[in-house]
Amino acid sequence: MDTPIKRNAAEKSHRGSFRRKLAKQRSLCIAILPALVIVIIFSYFPMYGIIAAFQNFKITKGYAGSEWVGLKNFTDIFRNRDFVRVFGYTMQISVTRYILGLAIPVAFALMLNELMNKPFKRIVQTMSYLPHFFSWVIVAGFVYRFLDPDGALNGLLKSLFNVKRPVQFFGNAGYFYPILIISEIWKSTGFSAIIYLAALSGIDPTLYEAAGIDGASKMRKIIHITLPGIMPTFITIVILNAGSLATGGFDSVFNLQNRLIRSDTNVLETYIYQMGLANMKYSFGVAAGLFQGLLASFFLLSTNFLSQRVLGKGIFKYD
């Protein structure tokens, strides 16, 4: 029978065990303390500002003096046609980037893994990693110079296809979507492939030798050994990246936009920035940002739930 005395004894034992673990890992706890403090200060403490989403927030009155309006700001954002249009455009970008951002690094890692020429392999790896370390300001500068009316691409179009007038790639909003997706994939593919290369290095080479003895082709080895070997890593990346389905990518979009196409190429982050800060509609911006954060949490949790139910694997379990 579970008596209060037994429960108290169990709680004391648990607390004692927890203290002993902390004492044993004291150096690790001290090492992680600065990062924990930074997360609390810059990630958790600012969450107090979420209450502005339920107020008609005035910066002169502060949180305490601003009028409480309940869910009015949320009804306003869903009645706003610009917000609905921007949300649809954001989802178009995020879904495309999510799918390609999962498939292309895997394919790239598989191709690198099959290269037998070690010096050439190292050169390709290094060149593919480099774009990740460039800021979006630098990447946008490269893209602008490449697609400029006097840039390399227009030069190729003129010389190969006898195009008379240069294409205004950044003067037409229709070109922005493919430019953004290609730029993001180019920047992230090499670095994203690192984790798959690490997973590939953990596959037992004797499996390939045994499959070769049985007469398996290169493609058979990839399908039956390589892909199952990296599947746990792939599932983890699928779940962790699910939250990005609610985002369009502020850095990339903001740096590739210009005033000619800005109104037609806004994503949620740039729209929230313009409405919340540039137009000083603070409550509207906070409400839109909170909606985006909740949507990202929904995508993350639902993807993990589906993975656990269908594949039996997930980052965390639901009891």
Please tell me the distance from the alpha carbon of residue 269 to that of residue 257, in angstroms, as a whole number.
13
- 165 and 48 co-located in one domain: no
- 100 and 10 co-located in one domain: no
* Domain interval for residue 171: 79-311
- Domain-located, residue 245: yes
> Considering the entire predicted model, what is its pTM?
0.86
CATH code where residue 145 lies: 1.10.3720.10
- 85 and 63 co-located in one domain: no
Last residue of a domain, which of 13, 45, 68? 68
Query: What is the model's pLDDT at position 8?
Result: 60
Query: Which long-range contacts does 91-95 make (Cβ < 8 Å, 24+ apart)?
Result: 91/245, 92/177, 93/177, 93/180, 93/181, 93/248, 93/249, 93/267, 94/244, 94/245, 94/246, 94/247, 94/248, 94/249, 95/245
- 86 and 235 co-located in one domain: yes
Domain count, the chain: 2
- Domain-located, residue 74: no
Query: What is the model's pLDDT at position 3?
Result: 60
- 89 and 182 co-located in one domain: yes
Task: Indicate the angle between helix axes 152-161 and 136-147, nearest 10 degrees.
Answer: 30
- 36 and 154 co-located in one domain: no
- 183 and 39 co-located in one domain: no
Last residue of a domain, which of 68, 91, 120? 68
Query: What is the model's pLDDT at position 16?
Result: 63
- Domain-located, residue 187: yes
Residue position matching structure tokens 């209450």: 51
- Domain-located, residue 316: no
- Domain-located, residue 318: no
- 46 and 135 co-located in one domain: no
- 176 and 44 co-located in one domain: no
Beta bridge partners of 55: 68
Q: CB–CB of 221/209 below 8 Å?
A: no
Token output for 88:
């649809």
Last residue of a domain, which of 19, 45, 68? 68
pLDDT by residue, tens only, the chain of 319 residues: 556 555 565 555 556 677 888 888 888 889 999 999 999 999 899 888 999 999 999 988 988 889 999 999 999 999 999 999 999 999 999 999 999 999 999 999 999 988 888 899 899 988 999 999 999 999 999 999 999 998 999 999 988 888 888 999 998 999 999 999 999 999 999 999 999 999 998 899 899 889 988 888 888 999 999 999 999 999 999 999 999 999 989 999 999 999 989 989 999 999 999 998 888 899 999 999 999 999 999 999 999 999 888 888 777 776 5
Task: Indicate the angle between helix axes 176-201 and 118-129, nearest 10 degrees.
Answer: 130
- Domain-located, residue 153: yes
Please tell me the distance from the alpha carbon of residue 255 to that of residue 101, in angstroms, as a whole number.
20
- 253 and 145 co-located in one domain: yes
- Domain-located, residue 126: yes
- 220 and 273 co-located in one domain: yes
- Domain-located, residue 73: no
Query: What is the model's pLDDT at position 21?
Result: 81
- 86 and 30 co-located in one domain: no
Instruction: Indicate the residue type of 27.
Output: S
Residue 208, judged by CB atoms within 10 A of its CB (0-12, 13-18, 19+), counts as middle
